[in-house]
Amino acid sequence: MTVQWLSKPREYSTWWCTAITIAGNRGENPTTIHNHTNLAMSADPTTAQQYTAHPRGQGAAHTVKSQQPADQETFNGQAAHILVAGGGTAGHIEPAMAVADALRDQYGARVTALGTTRGLETDLVPARGFPLATITAVPIPRKPSKALLQVPGKLVRALRETRDILRRNHIDCVVGFGSYVSAPAYLAAKSLRIPFVVHEANARAGLANKLGVALGGLGLNAQPESGLTGEVVGLPVRNTMAALQDPQQLAALKQQAAQHFGLSLDKPTLLVTGGSQGAVALNEALAGAMDALVDAGVQVVHAYGKKNAAPSPRPGVVAVPYIERMDLAYAIADLVVCRSGAMTVAEITASRTPAVYVPLPHGNGEQALNARSVVAAGGAQLVNNAEFTADYVRDTVVPLVSDPQALAAMRTALAATQTTDAATAVADRVMAVVRSRRHR
């Protein structure tokens, strides 16, 4: 395997070169799946159940639903087998699952997800009915440290595990979504001459996806000008978001949501969520303004994060560490306060729920960019993290969530934004790649 191309993009550091060279020289003939690799696959896609075993006692075993397509596109009698690589947080997993749904439901493809035992994928993927294969996690420290020195060795191990998964399961195409499992997936696919597709969700492309395109992957973008070469197709969201755009389905979901959360449909409802990890700054501002919200008759659904302390119980306030049914949360919410990760913005826009976005103040500033178009359209507001205080909630959020006319104008603006079925668009391009490979 050559690494000459790495001398051009300066952002790829020396350890990438070292790890890729080692992997190319030493990873050609894996013969066994390592003990820490978790693989749940059935040779027959119509098998009623598939079992996911967690290695070394990590996590619980899952029984997942069979992949039963209505129509199946086959090649020499075999359905295409796609590996989707997206793990860690819901922002990486949900787009992968949306594309997996489209591949299964529209093309009858078999789909396996690639992740690690450390992320939310251990719960979210089996719950969506897909088998999960896990490899060694290769997080990339942002600063020089001992952990940074360990990255090449971990990457070599992850590459061997991924190559083994690709070979054993006769994968036709890999689709990566930029998580820390994507880089090993791109490298392994390249080394085995398996085509791969790279989807970038953020307004600024990350390192793993830039690597994927540099290796020859087909680039796809959720937004223009991300810095990643490729077509703009939008961001895949779970298909339950489409129901929120239909008035009759929305009314039914509101009723279901009221029962699910134990809330009234006659009072304004504020949804506050920090995503799958929670957000301490949002939690603190909300706690400081809770009296003002309750006094104004505002109900609150608060996802405070699994790693954060639960707030004190209050009447009319539903506080949970994580919301499994986000479609119900969006259905009952009149206004959302949240971070502006790419997936969050895409789902809220698709659900046509007005929002106040508080971008994460770290990283490369992509969260503020993710929300720029919907804010410009009038469907959302944007406030800096440092300015999102209890006073801001009292002075801005409480009046907004209590103003039906202002919220109606924001919903109208959201309805006017152009949305596409990005999951189908990505699935279409993946299958085109598979056809090209199979017919060569």
> What are the beta bridge partners of residue 81?
110
Mean pLDDT within 198-204: 91
Does position 32 have pLDDT exceeding 60, yes or no? Answer: no
Asked whether residue 90 is marked as a ligand-binding residue, the answer is yes
The number of angstroms, rounded, from the C-alpha of 200 to the middle of its chain's C-alpha atoms is: 11
Name, in order, each residue with C-beta under 8 angstroms of 104's C-beta and a sequence gap of 6 or more.
Answer: 67, 69, 110, 111, 130
Q: State the Cα–Cα distance between residues 116 and 88, nearest whole angstrom.
A: 8
CATH fold of 8-234+422-438 reads Rossmann fold (3.40.50)
Distance, in Å, from the CA atom of 275 to the CA atom of 77, rounded to the nearest integer, reads 42
- CATH superfamily, region 240-416: Glycogen Phosphorylase B; (3.40.50.2000)
Q: Is 89 annotated as a binding residue?
A: yes
Which one has a higher pLDDT value, 69 or 422? 422
171 known ligand binder: no
| Confidence label for 426 from pLDDT (cuts 50, 70 and 90) | very high
Domain ranges across the chain? 8-234+422-438, 240-416
* 146 contacts 152 by C-beta, under 8 angstroms: no
CA–CA distance, 288 with 274 (Å, rounded to integer):
16
pLDDT at position 62 is: 32
Residue 332 assigned as binding residue: no
323 annotated ligand binder: yes
- Categorize the per-residue pLDDT at 27 as very low, low, confident or very high, splitting at 50, 70 and 90: very low
Q: Could you read off the pLDDT of 403-413 as tens digits, one per residue? A: 999 999 999 99
Q: Is 202 one of the annotated binding-site residues?
A: yes
In the chain, what percentage of residues exceed pLDDT 70? 82
Residue 379 has pLDDT above 90, yes or no: yes
Alpha-carbon gap, residue 69 to 46, rounded angstroms: 9
pLDDT in tens, 228-254: 999 999 999 988 887 888 899 999 999
Q: State the pTM of this model.
A: 0.74
What digits encode the pLDDT tens for the residues 46-91? 332 332 333 323 333 333 334 444 467 877 778 999 999 988 887 8
**67 annotated ligand-binding residue:** no
- Indicate the average pLDDT of the chain: 83
Is 240-416 the same fold as 8-234+422-438? yes
- What is the Cα gyration radius of the chain? 22
